[in-house]
Amino acid sequence: MKKVELLSPAGNFEKLETVYHYGADAAYIGGKILNLRAFSKNFEDEELEKAVKLARKLQKKLFVTLNAIPHNSELELLPDYVNYLESLNVDGVIVADLGVFNIVKRNSNLPLIVSTQASNTNWASVSMWRDLGAKRVILARELSLKEISEIREKVPDIDIEVFIHGAMCVSISGRCLLSNYLTGRDANRGQCTQPCRWKYYLMEEKRPGEYFPVFEDERGTYIMNSKDLCTVDFLDKIIETGVDSLKIEGRMKSSYYAGMTTKVYRQAIDSYYNKEYTKELIDSLKKELESVSHREYTSGFYFHKPGENSQNYKTSSYIRNYKFVGKIIEKISEDQYVVDVRNKIEKGEELEIVTKKGENTKVLLDQIVNLEDGSLIDSANP
């Protein structure tokens, strides 16, 4: 049986190194044009070259996003950029717009991957993209396990990719106009302000001044605020639909988020193929996913259309049970490490080292040394 691919997000080079280290088979990144994460650091050309070299060294795959919906003025640089990506030998480009698809196809032999932004919800559209030359289609999130299985059965000769973890959009596959309407920043061009996460007050039109009571209290409501997708407890069912790639959302999230989610789903996938995907393991993996910054979790559309239980009407805040304190740069001895501090740490604290496999290692921080002068200190700041 062909093993399903684990595809992780990387908003910068550090996150790319992180997801590869923790078990991703492939990563997706954004360059400087037509990229839906306009506020992520993204990859300059020099970093793109470095990223491809890393992927080749580790025998991993690397995909580049070109999935924004462009206007005329944004197409001018695209042919040259496509040629550049082909010269780097990236493993494919992710596109949403039919015109961009055609420009990539005419100017290169790059493998074409159709973005979830293209809203593919049926086998006929997937079949059409295959006929046009697409290598892979990332299905819309608004599909059940049964519908995905039917698409796989009807169109067996194209790669199918689905999302398994991360933020859910209030609109169909992210095709939302709220941000553009309210702030002038276009979600389909990588500038979404996420107004679906804002607090609102609802008023029924015929009774001005009176608050509509549903899903709201005196403090307002977050009626459009979706919970985050989490599938680790039914990943076996997703794999058995026959899809080729499982995708984690979150290029804007931290290195800790990228590493931990990748580690958890790597373990879940491997345990499925090793026939070790047990309830005990699932419970432990779900506990690990509680440690990353997240909203409450939902199973999305996989079993049924989400109802009110898949929305979060009380708050848009993230749940943060753990604090990411630093990245280990170098091991000096069995109990000494050089750490790049990201959040304040203090002598006497118990820390967890997120290991590549298995349970995290708990350590007592009994000594902190300032590398600049060798002095012992009680706390360290970023």
pLDDT tens profile 219-270: 677 777 888 899 999 999 999 999 999 999 988 888 999 999 999 999 999 9
Please give the average per-residue pLDDT across 66-86, as a whole number. Answer: 91
**Which of 46-55, 115-124, 198-207, 353-362 has the lowest average pLDDT?**
198-207
Q: Which residues contact 158 (CB under 8 A, 6 or more apart)?
A: 126, 129, 130, 134, 135, 136, 137
pLDDT of residue 71: 86
* Digit-coded pLDDT (tens) for 307-355: 777 777 677 677 777 888 999 999 999 889 999 999 999 999 999 999 8
Establish if 202 belongs to a structural domain: no
Q: Is 238 in contact with 145 (CB distance < 8 Å)?
A: yes
Please tell me the distance from the alpha carbon of residue 328 to that of residue 347, in angstroms, as a whole number.
17
For residue range 10-27, list pLDDT tens digits in order: 999 999 999 999 999 999
Q: Given this model, what pLDDT does residue 209 score? A: 55
**Per-residue pLDDT for 114 more than 80?**
yes
Shared-domain flag, residues 152 and 264: yes
Higher pLDDT, residue 288 or 313: 288
Predicted confidence at residue 172, as pLDDT, reads: 75
Average pLDDT over the chain, rounded to whole? 88
User: Do residues 120 and 212 make contact, with C-beta atoms less than 8 angstroms apart?
Assistant: no
Q: Is residue 197 in a domain?
A: no
- Which long-range contacts (C-beta less than 8 Å, at least 24 apart) are formed by 219-222? 221/313, 222/197, 222/198, 222/311, 222/312, 222/313, 222/314, 222/315, 222/316
Please report whether residue 144 resides in a domain: yes
- SS3 of residue 97 by DSSP: coil
Res 322: pLDDT: 82
Same domain, 306 and 349: no
Whether residues 56 and 125 share a domain: the answer is: yes
With a cut of 60, say whether residue 213 has pLDDT above it: no
Q: Are residues 246 and 341 in the same domain?
A: no
195 assigned to some structural domain: no
Cα separation of 177 and 156, whole Å? 34
Q: How many domains does the chain have?
A: 2
- pLDDT tens digits, residue range 131-157? 999 999 999 999 999 999 999 999 999
Greater confidence (28 vs 291) lies with 28
Give the other-Cβ count within 10 Å of 347's Cβ: 14
Cβ pair 65, 76 in contact under 8 A: no
Q: Do residues 129 and 11 share a domain?
A: yes
What pLDDT is attached to residue 221?
A: 75
Q: Please state the rounded mean pLDDT for residues 268-276.
A: 97
Claim to verify: residue 31 and residue 151 sit in the same structural domain: yes
293 vs 48, residue with greater confidence? 48
Of 276, 310, 344, which residue is a domain's last?
310
Backbone angles phi, psi at 354, to 5 degrees: -80, 100
Do 157 and 299 have their domain in common?
A: yes
Do 21 and 168 sit in the same domain of this protein? yes
Distance CA 290, CA 278 (A): 19
The pLDDT value given to residue 185: 76
Of 246, 242, 244, 251, which is closest to residue 264 (Cα–Cα)?
A: 246
pLDDT confidence of residue 188: 67
| Nearest alpha-carbon partner for 95 in 80, 115, 120 | 115
**Residue 56 confidence (pLDDT) above 60:** yes
Q: Determine, yes or no, domain membership for 204.
A: no
The pLDDT value given to residue 236 = 97
pLDDT reported for residue 219: 66
Residue 239 resides in a domain: yes
Say what the pLDDT of residue 314 is.
Answer: 72
Domain presence at residue 286: yes
Q: Collapse the DSSP code of 74 into the 3-class scheme (helix H, G, I; strand E, B; otherwise coil) and give the result.
A: helix
**Structural domain containing residue 363:** 326-380
Spatial separation of the C-alpha atoms in residues 291 and 379, rounded to whole Å? 23
Question: Once rounded to an integer, what is the mean pLDDT over residues 56-77?
Answer: 92
Which CATH number do you get for residue 90?
Answer: 3.20.20.70
